Structure 1
Amino acid sequence: MNKILIANRGEIAVRIIRACTELGIDSVSIYSEADADSLHRKIATESYCVGPKLSKDSYLDMISIITIAKKSGCDAIHPGYGFLAENSDFAEMCEASNLIFIGPMHETISLMGVKDVAKDTMKKAGVPTVPGSDGVVASIEDAKQTASDIGYPVIIKASYGGGGKGIRVARTEEELVQNYKMTEQEAESAFGNKSLYIEKYIENFRHIEIQVMGDYHGNVIHLGERDCTVQRRMQKLVEEAPSPILSEEKRSEMGETAVRAAKSIDYIGAGTIEFIYDLNDDRFYFMEMNTRIQVEHPVTEMVTGIDLVKMQIKVARREAIPYRQEDIRIEGHAIEFRINAENPYKNFMPSAGTITDFIVPGGYGVRLDTACYAGYRIPPYYDSMIAKLITFADTREEAIRTAKRALGEYIIGGIDTTIPFHSNLLDNEAFRANDYNTNFLLEHDVMK
């Protein structure tokens, strides 16, 4: 493998380019017209414009991306996260074009991409799943019957959903009827498929995910868990590893379950098994599988000392994972803060514009993954995340103190960001005491 095209933008494109450089592999970046001044264009070995400003005409244009990869002599394509990372058609097109898709097989992406099918697959593998409908519900009447059988509240989910979209909670039959129609419309608009399924809604839970890695030699390991409970509208804001809520026994059980799940589908590459951890019953249930590298992968890297992006590339080169499960050691504590170009004082209103000042934090235990710089213009066409601040220390308390200091040093001028939100979050007693669930931001207004 001599040359890799990175089918993405922003900080994850920069992250992958750096891994390629350290492995002695040439990198090819693509950029839209709106990203002409982007850092990922500047630091790649080669760079090509893939299309106009809108994602559908650029970063989602599969034919143009594969054409650039072939014409530039690439061996492989790394999709990063988002965009085409979990598009089974794209993975299949790469394979048909004799390009290595750095990720799982397209059949696996397809299998795990349909949420009700993925749930059934996990159930057959002996993985605990939340009580709910037996596959897709056929109609609103079918949904009513399922909700009556399992009891309210229930959660309505799009079979092809993801990223916090196509999900609504119903506490009564009236809400079920209303939200069923809204979710159906949203699913058809966002995913091109309006199929829905119903599950029991567990209210008092933590969002725990397990990082897994598989190779072509039949090896599968897990690299511990991440706690992603602090969310806004089902979008993760803060992630940490290890989870401060799990016992060692439960941690081991969840890890073993995740490996069993990955092995049941012959998983290859980096992936994440996401679980609902019920705080009332001390039980966990399969939520979904993400068949790609995650935004929050740096916290796992910090506590394991393993470069997950390099490992992805090595696995794609048919190298065996050089670790056994007993080799994986979780040491210290890491926390990641997603820095978004949004105004937390105005209901997180997006804030595009030109960055006038960009002073980054430093010191021991601080990592910053970003593609921003002073003078860079944030385009309004893509996701609002512009950086990830990660802190690492021996304990959670020390990692929080390091984060508080680092956030205080981090200056981004010219636009609004969520830095004040994260700084305030660290002063919240419930967060510091590890006494919260996924309703944290509904119960605590940290911007007051």
Structure 2
Amino acid sequence: MRFFACLICLSFLARPLSFSQDTFSIVAVDTVTGEIGSAGASCVGGGVGAFILSDVLEGIGAIHTQASYLSSNQQTARGRMVAGDSPQQIIDWMVAHDAQNNPTVRQYGVVDLRRRGETAAYTGVNCLNYKNHAIGPGYSVQGNILLGQMIIDTIRNTFLRTPGALADRLMLALEAAKIIGADTRCASRGTSSQSAFIKVVRIGDGAVPYLQRVIGNSAINVDPIGLLKTAFDRWKDSLRLHVDPFRSQLTVTPETLRADGSSFALIRIFPKNNSDSLLAGSRRVLLSNTGGGALTLPDTNYTARLIAPATPGVDTISARVVDGSDTTSVFAKRIVYYTQPTGTTAGDGSIPATVVLHPNFPNPFNPTTMISYGIPSAGHVTVNLYDVLGRHILTLLDETQPAGYHTLTADLSQFGSGVYFYCLEAGSSIFARKMVLVQ
């Protein structure tokens, strides 16, 4: 009798972990910084609660496996992503190869950083109502046993409308769904859910995620999303005065100099914290370069000069900031080109021999980006914005300008995510480049 009981026990232990994981959640990436994140909540408590469904792969993407959660399905989905499958290929595989031959009770949300934020989602027809998902560039929102479509829409709309860092966008999106009975099983508890989590990883994190906060269980009438927001705010406050290498920026204007030993470019450093706020000018900035250009020391306003060498070549400018007893890793790099001196020198740098239009920076971006260009002589300049169908949607610049290099800031906050083209017209010259907006 004991023998058969032992066999039954071993048989149970050998089965893949499976249980109901009815959840509302989001997976997302920031294609500019390379951050990948996930957040979610569920009326499941004990242990890590809803956090079990989160699978975030540094530098690759994220997968949420929910509804009737099966650990072997989660592991298979991860393996397909590591192998290089696209989000839709992963879902197609999971539907065709479900570990229990019952994909209709599963729900998946997948986002891929390597494919510039490509997403896919799946909601099985036998997941419990209300069930649905919503996807877009860089994000996937999914849920089941919900109060209604409003939960999906609230998470998605808040995420899309919130500016700033990925961590902030995820936290505020989840907080917006803190509605009693969002997971309908928790209505009797007076909460949206019983457990909640948020996680963000960055390239280079290794075994320690940039952000990971988990509320594995909460008391009746105490919402775990509220507890999570408190923990999140404490985490943010602990880093508020520190330089964030993923938010900080460095610009060089112009990015092309005459190799004459005297032309120069203006370097601007923007050390920011994890809230994307510029830090006060009391920190010491360290600049370095790989080429023959000469660097001046940055002043208290975080500006410096790069003086061109006498020979053509390429230079890479890097910046670090001394932050207390620590020095951040390199937070920005820019490429500068030194060309044959065919133009003439101006008081603020060099004048190009021909019209030049540089790639915008950053790219992809949200919602602002800088466009740098140069004109060899004074004249009328226009910069227009077009959508992928070639329709003119915005005039960024229309004025007479002096010869030299110029920079403008394009704000596309009124437009949706997608590919756009900016076109420079100066005299008889016309140049166009592509930019990618990720809202």
TM-score, scaled relative to structure 2? 0.24
Higher-Rg structure is: 2
Higher relative contact order (CA 8 A, sep 6+): 1
